Structures are given as structure tokens and as C-alpha cells.
Amino acid sequence: MRRFRWLAFVCVIALVLAACGRSDKETGSNNGTQTSTDTQASGGASKGSFGTSDVVCQPGTPSGSPANGVSASEIHLATFSDVGFAGRPGLNQELFDAATVFSKWCNDAGGINGRKIVVDERDAALTNVKAKMVESCASDFMVVGGGAVFDQDGVETRLTCLMPEISGYSVSPQARGADLLVQPIPNTVSSIPIGDYLYLEKKYPKATKAYGVLTGDIDTTKIVARQGDEAAKSLGWTKVYDDVYPPTGPADWTPLAQQLKDKGVKALLWTGEPENLAKLMQALSDINYTLDFVRTDANHYDDKLIDTGGSAIKNVFVRSVFTPFELAKKGNATQEYLDAFAKYLPNGKANALLGVQAWSAWMLFATAANDCGNDLTRKCVFENATKLTEWTGGGLHAAVDLKANVAPACFTEMEASASGFKIVSDLKPTEGIFRCEAKGVYTLKGDYPKGVTLADVGKSMADLK
């Protein structure tokens, strides 16, 4: 049954990442900033560095084949996506595009200590995750910068062949909590960020006494909604409404809008995708009912929300840990990311937060692999990646602790309206544009699915070489 509920699910594949959105945008003019051909426009101050990073890609004189997928001249790395899914052609193309751009950028700088990156695109097309993972196990060094809607289908295969992954996104609990996985923005099964809940509680204290929960009727999204609901209850909020909508969205959103009005809902915790939220907001506007706020995740940082909802979009708040594209400017990492696309893949899907998160995953791989020198092994890269305590992807996002592997305590809050997206003016950031506070992470206490472990497939960390 799960596989036939594809339409809504593919629209929310990365909402648990709180990282995707604006994926229909192409590079175009890169927000009006042109790339100069006589400067290091697609990298940091030094060739092979990016943003605030040290040099991660550089020449060398590599030798030998220390691991599967690694030769004296190349490193084969798998990137997963679902672009071949017939029901939504091009789904998450930004993952492949980010891999293409990063590999060209890195290889131009010399590769990983002289070894050139070869990206093996593994198109799972939604239902072929396991088969593509079998292919990857046979020829790839690691999985980097990708994701698949039904990622749970490939986890046991990946762990059986002892292949680490630095994901662009992970969606299912089985994958998010799996062994041999590093996420550039930790999205664990044990904690969630709630800094935006604290912000909204302070801004709209009365609204939290009458909140509602609404999500698509799909197991994964319902788990996300349950976790958010648990966090709200832990803060003392009062729930007056809890419901699901059909996975593809109802034919008419008016009955759901009327239910929200009848129940006196003032604050809505929404889990879903932007077009459906826009349609709900239109229905609320049609019956002259205004919510004090709608809280949702970064996949709603998407022009589809505004293009579909128009003037009905108001009081919608979106949490993010990334510097938004609106703040891209010469000298910052976000602009360098856009410049890299302009140079290496001008028609690629640059303005996509899922692509930016994939870039952070690639930067993490390059950083960890560079420190391994010539002896490039899976164990070395994995251990190096999990040691980092202030990872920013070179300045693309707020600092996160990969060693602790907990949800990030820092965030920025964006408000959507008919005129677009903007960072709220009353957040009181503590680090740059981000507000960071220890109480902004909540440890979950409910019973949720767990990740697949090495022990589940008869392996252990001692087997990793």
C-alpha cells in the first residue's frame, strides 16, 4: 500500500531533513551576481577551498588501491536520487547536479590528494533502491550526497557490504538511525530541534493554548508529526485538533479548513508539502478564518507555496539552518555555491536547499578524505567525518556537532507571505543570522522506529576496514 501512495510522499521526502525546497529554480542569473572568469569565483580564498574551509581538494601523487572503488587515479562514489521515477520525472535532480558540480570543482583543484572523483549516479527511480545499492556495493567506495524516497530498502544491503554513507538526506527512521551513516545536518531518531517552537511560543503565547496538528496520511510523515506534537506537549501547549488528510490532498480543502475554525485552532503544526499547505491557506481565507501561525519545516522554503497560495499566505513560519539564497552575496559560501553552478552546470538546479545540503555532504566527504592522505579507506573517512564538532559545510549553514550526532541547536526563522520569504526581525540571533540555545533541542521520549544496525546484518564496527 505504501508504494502506491507516491504522490504526496515524494513531495515531502526531505521534510524530516528540514532542508529541501525551491527545487524548481534554475541557476539563471544567480540572483543577479555574475561570475568573473579571472577570479576564484567557485571556491574559497585558495584553490580547492570553499567558503570558510581549508583546502580540501588538491593535487598529489597517489598510489595503490587501498579500498573498493579506489584506484591510484580515481575514487568511485555513488549518489542516489529518484530522477527516473515515471510519476515525477526529474525528482530531486538537484542531488545529481550538486554531485556533478562538486566533482568538477574538486577535480579542477586536483581531486582528493590527486585522485579524481568519479560520480556514479544511482537512479533508484523510487522503487529500485535495493538493486541500485547492490550495484553500488560492487563498485563504489562510499555513498555521498544523495538520497532516496524509500531509503529503508537499501540500508541492510549497504551495511552488509560495510559501505559508509554521507547522505544528502535520509528520510525513514530505519535509514536516519542506521550505522555507518553521517548526515551533514544530523536528523536523528532520538532528538528534534525546537528553537522555532520556543520563538513562536514567545511571539504568540495565546495561540499555543489552542494548537492543531495536520499531516498527510503516510506512516513517515505521521511519525514526524507525532514527534512535533510530543515536543509541543512538553512545552505545555494545549492541543485542540489532530487529523490527517489524504496523501494526494483532498479534492476540496474547505471541510478541513472549517474543522480548524470550528475547533478554534489558533496555531497549526503542519507536516506536508507547500502546494497542499497553500491550498489549505486559500480555503481558510475563503471562509474568513486566520490562524495566528502555521509552523512548518524548511521544505516549505519554496516558491510553490507563494505561487499557489498568493495573498492567502500569511503567518507561515519556516525553520532553517541554512543561509537563505536571499542573503547570497560576494564572499559568502552561499554565493560561492551558486557561482560553482554558474561555472560548471549553468542550467542545473542551483536554487534548491536539498542541493545545498548535498554540497555540505560532499564538502564533508572531501574534508574527511583529504585528511586520510594516500591511505584512503572507508574506516578512515568515516571516523574523520564523525569527529567534527563544528561543521558548517564551509559556511553554508549553522555549526553542527557531528561527533555528538544530535539535532542542531541553531536555526533561523523565515516568514512566508504573498511578497516572498524573509528572516523574521525579532528572532534575536546569537551567532550571525542564527539563534543558538541548548534548550532548542528536545530529546524524544516516545516509541518510534529505530535505525538498522550492523548487528542486524551480522556485522560489527570491527569489520570496517
Q: From first to last of its 465 residues, what are the pLDDT tens digits of the chain?
A: 333 333 334 444 444 343 333 434 443 333 333 333 233 344 566 899 999 999 999 999 999 999 999 999 999 999 999 999 987 799 899 999 999 999 999 999 999 999 999 999 999 998 999 999 999 999 999 999 999 988 999 999 999 999 999 999 998 889 999 999 999 999 888 999 999 999 999 999 999 999 999 999 988 788 889 999 999 999 999 999 999 999 778 999 999 999 999 999 999 999 988 889 999 999 999 999 999 999 998 888 888 899 999 999 999 999 999 999 999 999 999 999 999 999 999 999 998 888 999 999 999 999 999 999 999 999 999 999 999 999 999 999 999 999 999 889 999 999 999 999 999 999 999 999 999 998 999 999 999 889 999 999 999 999 999
Give the integer Cα–Cα distance in Å for 217 and 286.
24
Reduced to 3 states (helix: H, G, I; strand: E, B; else coil), residue 243 is strand
Reduced to 3 states (helix: H, G, I; strand: E, B; else coil), residue 214 is strand
The reported pLDDT for the residue numbered 256 is 98
Give the integer Cα–Cα distance in Å for 170 and 182.
10
Q: Where are the beta strands (DSSP E) in 82-233?
A: 116-123, 142-144, 165-166, 181-182, 191-193, 211-216
Give the integer Cα–Cα distance in Å for 421 and 313.
11
Give the integer Cα–Cα distance in Å for 417 and 433.
20
Domain residue ranges of the chain, discontinuous segments joined by +: 2-28+53-190+325-404, 191-322+407-443
* Angle (deg, nearest 10), helices 152-160 and 129-139: 20
In 3D, which of 2, 416, 442, 411 has the Cα closest to residue 222? 2
In 3D, which of 248, 172, 258, 260 has the Cα closest to residue 214? 260
The reported pLDDT for the residue numbered 251 is 95
Give the integer Cα–Cα distance in Å for 356 and 162.
27
The reported pLDDT for the residue numbered 45 is 63
The reported pLDDT for the residue numbered 353 is 84
Burial class (CB in 10 A: 0-12, 13-18, 19+), 210: middle
Give the integer Cα–Cα distance in Å for 305 and 313.
8
Give the integer Cα–Cα distance in Å for 460 and 105.
35
Encoded amino acid at 408, one letter = P
Q: What is the DSSP letter of 220?
A: H
Q: Determine the number of helices (DSSP H) and then strands (DSSP E) in the chain.
A: 13, 15
Give the integer Cα–Cα distance in Å for 369 and 249.
44
Give the integer Cα–Cα distance in Å for 465 and 457.
17
Which homologous superfamily does the CATH classification assign to the domain defined by 191-322+407-443? Response regulator (3.40.50.2300)
| CATH number of the 2-28+53-190+325-404 domain | 3.40.50.2300
338: phi then psi, degrees, rounded to nearest 5: -65, -40
Q: Spell out the long-range contacts of 84-91 with Cβ–Cβ below 8 A and sequence spacing 24 or more.
A: 84/123, 84/124, 84/125, 85/6, 85/10, 85/125, 85/126, 86/125, 87/6, 87/7, 87/10, 87/126, 88/6, 88/7, 88/10, 91/10, 91/126, 91/149
Give the integer Cα–Cα distance in Å for 443 and 239.
20
Give the integer Cα–Cα distance in Å for 61 and 112.
10
358: phi then psi, degrees, rounded to nearest 5: -65, -40
Name the pTM for this structure: 0.86
Neighbours of 444 (CB within 10 A): 17
Neighbours of 205 (CB within 10 A): 10
Neighbours of 284 (CB within 10 A): 24
Contact indicator for 218, 5 with CB cutoff of 8 Å: yes
The reported pLDDT for the residue numbered 12 is 45
The reported pLDDT for the residue numbered 248 is 75
